[in-house]
Structure 1
Amino acid sequence: MLNIEGLERLDANAPVVMLNLMRFHAHSRDGDGSGWDAYLRYSAITVPMIRARGGTLLWTGEAKAVALGPHDGNDWDFVALVYYPTVAAFIDMMTSEAYETQADPHRVNGCAEHVIIATNEAYSKFRMSSHRDS
């Protein structure tokens, strides 16, 4: 469930990078392939939505092993970093009818668990405020 209350405490006009942690079902809940297959359908719909709001995927990859910290509960399958020019842009996408009806069902069918953590820049080799989609 989207934490609107927590997001509204952030600066709505500040850029944000969302850290996505995902664990997939072995089989999609709708019976159409694996959880990964459902996630790919979700991504195909959401990436254009992200770009339409000025955002972009920064990085994605497989989670391979817990290197430090508790192992229990941290067996993620996939990680993604997604840039949005504002927190408001993220909220706009996540609460849009198109997201809720077209994209989110694929996410729910594919992901056993999906955590999104809003981050703000403390240090970056790249300045978020001047980020341009390449």
Structure 2
Amino acid sequence: MGTSRDGYLGDLEVAETRIPADKPYVMLNMMNFRPIASYQPDFERESSSTISGAEAYTIYREKFGKRAAELGVTSAEVLFLGQAHTNLMAGDHEGEAWDFIVMVRFQNFASFRLVLEDEVYIKAIQPHRLAAVREFRSFAVTEVNP
């Protein structure tokens, strides 16, 4: 099982068996932010001021990128960062809406997993994501050549 400790991750070991090890990995996230970030009481922030979920996610993104680089994961590249406006062709998910969409490419899934299982990430960075996001979907994607 993933070691993110309440980080809402699926089983990373199973994911690693399903994602080709020799291909770039793209993480596709769809998120809804909390109106006000909801930090755990035991998490010590730099500031005690109230911030929005979107602001907490911005802090998360900045800290994630910095930590990934410190771990030698230099291949993390934001491919797309955008606001979702409406739901088209949703089928059974009619009415489902998302605030934010992000796609990030990594050299491979192992490099992404290295960050997720890092103690500094778990203790000091992941809490910003958990405080920011009310609901999300995350998909592991690899490119298919037509």
TM-score, structure 2 normalization = 0.76
Rounded Cα–Cα distance in structure 2 between residues aligned with 1:50 and 1:115 = 21
Deviations 1:75-109 (A, max 9, x none): 11000010000110011111111211111100011
Rounded Cα–Cα distance in structure 2 between residues aligned with 1:19 and 1:50 = 17
Rounded Cα–Cα distance in structure 2 between residues aligned with 1:22 and 1:28 = 14
Rounded Cα–Cα distance in structure 2 between residues aligned with 1:24 and 1:68 = 23
Rounded Cα–Cα distance in structure 1 between residues aligned with 2:83 and 2:15 = 27
Structure 2 residue identity aligned to 1:88: A
State which of 52, 63, 81 in structure 2 corresponds to 1:45: 63
Unaligned runs of 5+ in 1: 125-134
1:129: which partner in 2? none
For 1:48-67, what aligned pairs fall within 5 Å after superposition?
A: 48-51=66-69, 52-53=72-73, 54-67=75-88
Aligned residue pair count: 123
Rounded Cα–Cα distance in structure 1 between residues aligned with 2:50 and 2:123 = 17
TM-score, structure 1 normalization = 0.83
Rounded Cα–Cα distance in structure 2 between residues aligned with 1:50 and 1:80 = 17
Shift in Å at residue 50 of structure 1? Answer: 4.0
Change (3 A) 1:92 1:13: farther
Deviations 1:46-79 (A, max 9, x none): 122345412211110001100111324x311000
2:53: which partner in 1? 35
2:94: which partner in 1? 71
Structure 1 outlier segments of 4+, above 4 Å: none
Rounded Cα–Cα distance in structure 2 between residues aligned with 1:75 and 1:87 = 28
Identity of aligned residues (%): 27
Unaligned runs of 5+ in 2: 1-7, 40-48
